[in-house]
Chains A and B, each alone.
Chain A
Amino acid sequence: MSQNVTDLQTAAAEQQAEENTAARARVGATRLLRTLLRNGKALAGLSILLAFIALALLAPVFFPGDPARITSAGASAPSLEHWLGTTTKGQDVLGLTLWGARSSLFVGFAAGILSTVIGVLVGLSGAYFGKGLDDLLSLATNVFLLVPGLPLLVILAAFMPPGLGTVIVVLTITGWAGSARVMRSQAMSIRGKDYVAAAQVSGERPLRIMTREILPNMASVVMTTLLGCIIGSIGAQAGLEFLGLGDVSTISWGTNLFWATSDGSLMLGQWWIFVPSGLAIALVAFALALCNYAVDEITNPRLRRPKHATKSTAATTVARKEGK
């Protein structure tokens, strides 16, 4: 009977604590969001990103039907009818670019999120449990970090059956190690903090300590890693598909560029066929990089740009005198 009561009490206390942490995390998240919106870089990056996502979602509205359908209007320069011109096969380039955004963004985000999740799992458990498990996981991480990514991508893609799923899996296999390393070093430093020791002494389960005590405190690092992983995935996917190793039948920015070269539009001087897709990749990557730098600046005040041009050591009077 008394056992049950204490159980209930602990359960209630646990729930209370859980709500507290959850509330704290929520406050932290809204504060981060508000600071992000006040930061110029973040605002610019988020706007570009949202614009691309909106265009990707609206692609079927603007260009209904199959954008890859071959028509007779082959290789015409940009005009009022086709804003970005047509390809050698007579497909509208703007339509291909908008439709391409769907699979490119999807694969980029999916592979980026997957790599980050694996990175968090490997890094956190390695840092928390330490010893043999940590040695093993660190070794695997370092090996994958060192093996050159693109050649490995090419080899994997060559052996696996083509398809969007393969591309995502392959990108995750080559992408997780970088995030795992960052996560491990961050989790290691938090692992040594007093409140983690307190949680252990109070008998909390390892999983709970990892998710409730350690993970929320490395939110900003997870964020920058995630953004970095998405940038990497979008670039790697484009490279893979450009080499013709992705799924050539889906429309994405990478396959658009693949067809542009295999149709010889570069040699024929048809710049309008290969410019839009590459520009789209660059804009999305740039937008994500902007968000990344914004998160960096918010969490590391030293990197913020000073209002006036100063010498590096101007904070000290000695330096100021010397400078003048």
Chain B
Amino acid sequence: MTDQSLAPDAFKRIEQTAQIHGISRPSLSYWQDAWIRLKANRRALYSLYLVVGLLLFTFLGPLIWQIDPSVQDVDQISQPPFASRTVQLVPEYQPWYPSDELSGTGLNFVAPPTTQYVRLTWDKNPAATGGYRVYRNLFPIGVERAYGLPLKETGVAENFFEDRLDLKPRNYFYSIVALDDDGNELHDQVETIEGEVIRVMAPREAISRGMLDADEAPVFGTQYTLPLHPLGTDYLGRDMLARLMHGARVSLFIGFFAPFIFVLVGVAYGSVAGFLGGMTDQALMRFADFVVALPFLLFMILFKVVFAIGPGESGIMPMLLAMVLLLWPATARLVRGQILQIREEGYISASRLLGAKTNYLVLRHMIPNTMGVILVTITFAVPSAIFTEAFLSFIGMGVAPPTPSWGSMCNEGIKTMLTTPHELIFPALLISVTVLAFNLLGDGLRDALDARMRNRE
């Protein structure tokens, strides 16, 4: 024992001085500091811009681009962006009953080919004892003798043909193949003609489109311009841009709403488990393990059945429910671990010694200290939820057909991937960019919100 004399002086209050240490830098709160470090992270910052841009696209976009996403423009089906939009006014379609005295100048178009009809005539071929077969191709006939799509077998006396099958403004190759008595093709008796089909419109349609007044006399041959579709149209002639904007709503609704709810559930569950500890913690966490083991897709299907949602009806609610019910354990585990750790920290004990109540401890110390983890979980949950929605809509379990969603748009686009790739590329690009932006942002947030990195310049 050392000899220590305690003089009354030792218990005298120290006088407060104006400034003990000079604070060399401005005082920064946790959030201010995080924001500064997030700004320093270029990747994260650009991702943030992208996310903001995406929100504007989704919520302001439809106010600017006021096109109904379910309106079908039958004249512009599967139209890529920047395609020609001119259309010529022609008389209403009149059935064609050709007389026998058609000109004998070989295979020829009777009238300029239009989207209304393509009328062909050819010289009678004495070798064609079984008539003719008319083919249409989108590509030149090569050595393979692939004439394309067979359209009709005409009789021996019928040396004319009218094509009206789904004509698009593009080049077509028509082939007339002579047939022998048994209906076999005579490959040396083939004539082919190429024609560029121009887009035309009859007055009735022009009136319904509002390009022509009902009492106005139509001037045939006039050029009109069809409505603009900046990103083209889909297989039913619906505007891609409008559909992407409306589709984003579904994607972002699921993307924000589902993670928000299940993260909230997870935080509450995890903090209770972590804070109470012991047997309660054990029981709660084993239940969480049980939920983790439940297969998501199966539950999604079960909910669809339980809610009597048939094929062709929107599966958004069961999707949301399945996500909320099944995806919270990950957050709960994370938060529980964090709380367990914080509970043992010195400042908690100190706070407790100073008489802090449970409420105060949880709200003042524990939740704010897990905030970083929670935010990061949300930012990573958002892209995964968007992706889940896209995936489920892609396999046909998401939104019902008239409602667009990026996933269902991809699903529709993939069928015509090789011929009209824009129908797949745009929604797929948006999904990729969104998911990437959220992931990079989450990455940046994690770095920014990590208190231990606070002092690292």
Is this pair of chains taken from one and the same complex? no
- A interface list, Cβ under 8 A from B: none
- B interface list, Cβ under 8 A from A: none
